[in-house]
Amino acid sequence: MTGKNGEVNESVEHAETPSEPKRIGRRLFLSVIGLGVVGVALGPGLSNIESKFLNIFSKKPGTGLASLLPGASQFRIYSVTNTIPIVANDAYRLRVGGLVRVPRTLTLADLMNMPATSLVKDFQCVTGWRVPNVHWKGVMLRDLLDAVGVEPGAKAVEFASFDGEYTESLTLAEARRADVIIAYEMLGAPVTPEHGGPVRLYVAPMYGYKSAKWLKSITLVRAGVPGFWERNGYDVEGWIGRSNGRTDQPVD
Ligand SMILES: Nc1nc2c(c(=O)[nH]1)N[C@H]1C(S)=C(S)[C@@H](COP(=O)(O)O)O[C@H]1N2
Ligand SMILES: [Mo]
């Protein structure tokens, strides 16, 4: 929804907590922020995690871009920290390390200079909502893994978010699938801050919780640690169909 000043106005009911239901998100104002990570708080009464961020409530009209994109309004915006951390495109860095031959820190431009992969897929949250035909673009994770050289012994890939809280993991075999991308476009446009921009993970064959937003680092490890929601009860193997009776099969 776009407010009268063009600001992004998401009213989000968070049905994502397996243990205790929790509501996040009231009015969300986005403004253009300079360098560094800052957070746009989703509402008052936030946990102390937010103290790590500078919470900015801007009365300035945002671009409202997110809400103009086809399909955007069907997404629920989720953030386990109740904030939208924002990093400017030119300040963005993605660290790829752990059990690799050549650890690398990539800029957004570095990613955009790599061969691109486009996918058109339905997005499925484990809680039931689904957005059809979402257009994604980014770099195949396996191309990135090949670029740094995975050491023998690495069996899993861990992902961390610059929200400071969210984590995910995949086995190395899953990470090497052709439908797992490091996405800088979603809904046919640059990934917006609320959707995890400038760069998020997109794991097409699995539920939305595997697709970590605000991607900060990719670390090759011997064994993956269960991610944020998996520590709260979700299946580590998040194949669509496993948790809510859908019949979708994992596809290449
Ligand atoms: N960093 C981070 N990534 C996240 C989440 C989150 O809360 N924080 N929620 C996950 C869940 S459960 C889903 S369904 C999708 C939702 O993506 P969206 O917020 O772009 O709609 O993001 C996933 N990635
Ligand atoms: Mo989800």
Domains of the chain, each with CATH number or no CATH? 4-19+88-244 (3.90.420.10), 26-82 (no CATH)
Which residues surround ligand 1 with Cβ inside 6 Å? 16, 75-80, 125, 161, 163, 166, 195-196, 208-209, 211-214
194 alpha carbon to ligand 2 midpoint, in Å?
14
2 alpha carbon to ligand 2 midpoint, in Å?
23
78 alpha carbon to ligand 1 midpoint, in Å?
5
79 alpha carbon to ligand 1 midpoint, in Å?
6
Q: What is the pTM of this model?
A: 0.78
Residues 6+ apart with CB under 8 A from 144: 96, 106, 114, 182, 218
Residue 66 confidence (pLDDT): 56
Torsion sign across C-alpha atoms 229, 231, 233, 238: positive
Q: Which ligand is nearest to the CA of 244?
A: 2
Residue 29 confidence (pLDDT): 35
Average pLDDT per 10 consecutive residues for the chain, totaling 252 residues? 36 38 34 50 41 32 56 86 92 98 98 98 90 96 98 97 96 97 97 96 96 98 89 84 54 41
Residue 65 confidence (pLDDT): 56
Among 84, 123, 203, 213, residue to substitute to test ligand 1 (most atoms within 8 Å of Cβ): 213
